[in-house]
Amino acid sequence: MAFPAGFGWGAATAAYQVEGGWDADGKGPSVWDTFTHQGGERVFKNQTGDVACGSYTLWEEDLKCIKQLGLTHYRFSLSWSRLLPDGTTGFINQKGIDYYNKIIDDLLTNGVTPIVTLYHFDLPQALEDQGGWLSEATIESFDKYARFCFSTFGDRVKQWITINEPNIYAMLGYELGIFPPGVPHSGTGGYQAAHNMIKAHARSWHSYDSLFRKEQKGMVSLSIFAGWAEPADPNSVSDQEAAKRAISFCLDFIAKPIFIDGDYPEVVKSQVASMSKKQGYPSSRLPEFTEEEKRMIKGTADFFAVQYYTTRLVKYQENKKRELGILQDAETEILTDPSWISLDWVYVVPWGIRKLLKYVKDTYNNPVIYITENGFPQLDPVSLDDTQRWEYFRQTFQELFKAIQLDKVNLKVYCAWSLLDNFEWDRGYSSRFGLFHVDFEDPARPRVPYTSAKEYAKIIQKNGLEGDA
């Protein structure tokens, strides 16, 4: 089962989850610094990313892990407030530039291609204070930040992700309030935040296109979270429609404007409009793009970056009580199959990734696809010999192989989440996705390979699995 020649094997991390050094060398506070320092058990055991994996001072150790795996690609994110402490180019933190320059240069020296994310959930607190992603002003701030990064690092970085999972952050941060800023806005916040993120992405893509592409010759996209959805009852037409709506409200909500026509899926627009009307709103709670904005948004991605972890069953759930919320607008109930193995929120469904890739190919004009995250958590107590978890990875690679060979999906890069055990947002350090174990009790934060890391290294070396699919 050899993968195509030149297939990219990577692993991913994100700044707040691994760096630590939360206020070191002039870094400004991000929303996660503020949120975790407020306590209140919003994060498991009130844990924080103040130190995390210590990657801000231990980059050399991370590089050893990358080399041990033999990665061809490494995806990491820039801390916006480490580079621009108040979120603006009014003050630029040279120590932040130096840190990321070293990472980029070391990767290239070792033959590893950097995939760099501009924004992975850690908005500068100074911008959140001015409304964050609910404010149109953040679009302009993001575009200026993106231009700064393109001009500073773009001579060497050729693969950019603007925003990580806008659909998830809009939902968890601004709809439900589980993530910073921690204030729920049911039925409105998620849509407004995603609306602004889509426009911010498009603006920064155009900035790259007009100012940097000719000279730098790189590619720009954004990473979209997508679970797969199957009807709870495959024979029920209403469940079949509900499963389609679930995909429309999650993946297509972001992808259709950017890859197809600059606008939201029709089913999303009609569902939210009709629900808003029933609830007595004068107009739809879903913001509208102007015709000019649609033209600006359409076609603003150079490849399709998707993040898959799991699959869910979806059942039609009429919103009889006219409750506010995105799931209520979609009129879906999300379930799981009792036969699926549960690892925290990740249910192990490797075949879902093949179905998702086929859907992306068929719906979005057979794009070049990067899987920028995929993985499986271990919950404490963990064993370094994680043979069962490796089996889930192996099954996933078999499905990717089928997607490439049988479905002719144009998949070019796979990034495992994550290189290291790290600060897993509201789960703190209780959910371990790393290929390398990190001892968070030891000040030296030693990295030790799990069995999965050793097995993944073999796959990378062979560019595929032993035997046939």
User: What are the φ and ψ backbone dihedral angles of 179, each rounded to 5 degrees?
Assistant: -105, 165
Among the options 61, 165, 399, 455, which is catalytic?
165
Q: What's the distance, CA 194 to chain centroid?
A: 14
Detail the DSSP E strand segments found in 301-365: 304-307, 311-316, 332-335, 342-343, 346-347
Report the distance separating Cα 81 and Cα 25, nearest Å.
11
The secondary element (H helix, E strand) that includes residue 447 is strand 447-449
Binning the chain into helix, strand and coil, the percentages to the nearest 5 are 45, 15, 40
* 165 carries an active-site annotation: yes
What is the CA angle 8-13-17, rounded to 5? 175
Tokens 């994550």 belong to: 418
Among the options 61, 128, 331, 373, which is catalytic?
373
Amino acid at 351: W
CB 190 within 8 A of CB 124: no
Detail the DSSP E strand segments found in 157-298: 159-164, 219-225, 228-231
- Other Cβ atoms within 10 Å of 279 Cβ, number: 14
Buried b / exposed e along 159-187 (16+ C-beta atoms within 10 A): bbbbbbbbbbbbbbbbbbbebbbbeebeb
Detail the DSSP E strand segments found in 1-148: 8-12, 73-77, 113-119
Is the bond into 29 cis (omega within 30 degrees of 0)? Answer: no
DSSP 3-state of 360:
helix
CB 66 within 8 A of CB 75: no
User: What are the φ and ψ backbone dihedral angles of 236, each rounded to 5 degrees?
Assistant: -95, 120
Tokens 């503020």 belong to: 34
* Pairing assessment for the beta strands 73-77 and 113-119 based on DSSP bridges: parallel
Report the distance separating Cα 401 and Cα 145, nearest Å.
38
CB 106 within 8 A of CB 149: no
Beta bridge partners of 159: 115, 219
Tokens 């979609």 belong to: 330
Report the distance separating Cα 242 and Cα 231, nearest Å.
7
Q: In what order do the strands lie in the sheet with 228-231?
A: 228-231, 311-316, 332-335
Rama region for 452: left / alpha / beta (φ>0; ψ in -120 to 50; rest): alpha
| Residues classed as catalytic | 165, 373
